Amino acid sequence: MVITEPSRDEVGLRPPTHPLPPRVRTWWRIHALGWPGAAVVVLLVLAWLIAPAAAWLGLAAGVVAAVGLVVGLALPAYWYRVHRWEVTDEAVYTRSGYAWQEWRAAPLSRVQTVDPTRGPLQRRLGLATLVVTTASAKGAVTVAGLAGDEADALAHRLTRETRAVPGDAT
């Protein structure tokens, strides 16, 4: 695939340059270990309740635990290398995804709202998600796992800069 340089009047798709803060790996690990952990608990409770199937359910719990540990401990390092973001004078750029990667470029003239959000775990880790809603059928551009103060600063910057960009964000 060849990426051509955009003309002066258009925004081109290019790789974003900024990595997320390293503590985002902790957030991803907790998420990646949570679902297998819950499944292991359910399988062990079922094994306790259904005595004839206890061996099979215990084996299934062990397999889920092993796969969950590999995923939860190994993949966040890979995800950290993949996820990138950048805000320029022309656009918001993101690259995200795990197996299937998605690159997005949202011109500032298309930005409608900018919302930093934080869940309880993100607040505890000092992280935030920046949701940049655009006039696009694809939906909002999201940068999950930014440092909280950086997300706030970007929200203020984008709000200020999008007011100065000509166009009506449609």
Confidence (pLDDT) at 25? 95
Query: 166 falls in which pLDDT band (50, 70, 90)?
Result: low
Helix (H, G, I), strand (E, B) or coil at 113: strand
CB 135 within 8 A of CB 170: yes
How many C-beta atoms surround the C-beta of residue 165 within 10 A?
A: 14
Confidence (pLDDT) at 8? 45
Element (H, E) at 105: strand 101-107
Checking if the pLDDT of 167 tops 90, the result is: no
Measured distance CA(115)–CA(158) in Å, rounded: 10
Residue-wise pLDDT tens digits, 32-41: 899 999 999 9
pTM greater than 0.85 (yes/no): no
Residue-wise pLDDT tens digits, 99-154: 888 888 888 888 899 999 999 999 999 999 999 998 888 889 999 999 999 999 99
Query: 61 falls in which pLDDT band (50, 70, 90)?
Result: very high
CB 71 within 8 A of CB 64: no
Q: Which tokens is 100 given?
A: 């299937």
Average pLDDT over residues 53-73: 91
Checking if the pLDDT of 79 tops 70, the result is: yes
CB 74 within 8 A of CB 98: no
